[in-house]
Amino acid sequence: MTDRTDHGGFALDEADRLLTTTRAVRRRLDMDRPVPREIVERCIEIAMQAPIGGNQEVRRWVVVTDQDLKTEIAAAYRLASTPYLDELYRDATARSDQQKLRVIASANFLATNLERMPVLVIPCVEPQVDLSTNVSAAAEYASVLPAVWSFQLALRARGLGTTHTTLHLYEENKVSRLLGIPDTVNQVGLLPVAYTAGTEFKSARRIDPRSITYWNTWAGE
């Protein structure tokens, strides 16, 4: 039975539906419908409420709507994504992995049409991420990635979709120069933003969480 009881003021069924149906959307993005600036700004405002380490604001957001800039970003994205996706395609074809092939086709669709997306959002972190140790990198990414997910949830609640891509980071320096992003800043991804074609999305197929959850020790109880 669906739990419709409010807990802490929230209806659990609606909260769970939002959390379990916010998909990585590529093919079902409406590339022809404009996205109002105020919606993007409101979703970023909501995302800024996500937890942050030490209460030190390190998150930055670059929002790109200029067509020439989007075209150049898309070119940089394809420069990195094409050989990567081609390699994945060859491997998946050799193994007849149909599920992987569908994911690759979706990723190729995004790469081919990236400049047509109404809005591109690049979340960033300043100062740059310290990759010298796992603890430093984990702590700094933990200050920005929860906000990225909150941004995606806020979009979904308003009938928009996106996917968090990272392939353009192979060309991060080129994109930074293009957008005037300082050397003290790291990009952490790229999100195409658009209204979705339809708003009904299903939960994804995932493995049984009990098979990957360990209580007290890795060996489990």
Of the given ranges (3-12, 18-27, 102-111), which has the lowest mean pLDDT? 3-12
Closest to 156 in 3D by CA, of 32, 46, 50, 60: 46
Domain 23-65+118-200, CATH homologous superfamily name and number: NADH Oxidase (3.40.109.10)
pLDDT at 119 over 60: yes
Band (1; pLDDT cuts 50, 70, 90): very low
Q: What is the mean pLDDT of residues 161-185?
A: 97
Q: What is the mean pLDDT of residues 8-25?
A: 91
Q: Give residue-wise pLDDT tens across range 55-65.
A: 889 999 999 99
Band (53; pLDDT cuts 50, 70, 90): confident
Across the chain, how many H-helices and E-strands are there? 7, 8
Q: Whole-angstrom Cα distance, residue 168 to residue 81?
A: 7
pLDDT at 178 over 60: yes
In 3-state terms, what secondary structure has residue 76? helix
Q: What is the mean pLDDT of residues 35-51?
A: 97
Q: What is the mean pLDDT of residues 192-217?
A: 93
Q: What is the mean pLDDT of residues 132-143?
A: 93
In 3-state terms, what secondary structure has residue 19? helix
Q: Whole-angstrom Cα distance, residue 201 to residue 155?
A: 14
Closest to 107 in 3D by CA, of 27, 28, 193: 27
Q: What is the mean pLDDT of residues 69-90?
A: 95
Share of the chain above pLDDT 90, in %: 88
pLDDT at 36 over 80: yes
pLDDT on residue 4: 59
Rounded to a whole number of angstroms, the distance between the first and last alpha carbons of the chain is 29
Of the given ranges (38-52, 118-132, 156-170, 207-221), which has the lowest mean pLDDT? 207-221
Q: What is the mean pLDDT of residues 118-131?
A: 95
CB atoms within 10 A of CB 36: 11
pLDDT on residue 54: 84
pLDDT on residue 3: 55
Mean pLDDT, rounded, of the chain: 93
Q: What is the mean pLDDT of residues 191-201?
A: 94
Q: Whole-angstrom Cα distance, residue 24 to residue 163?
A: 4
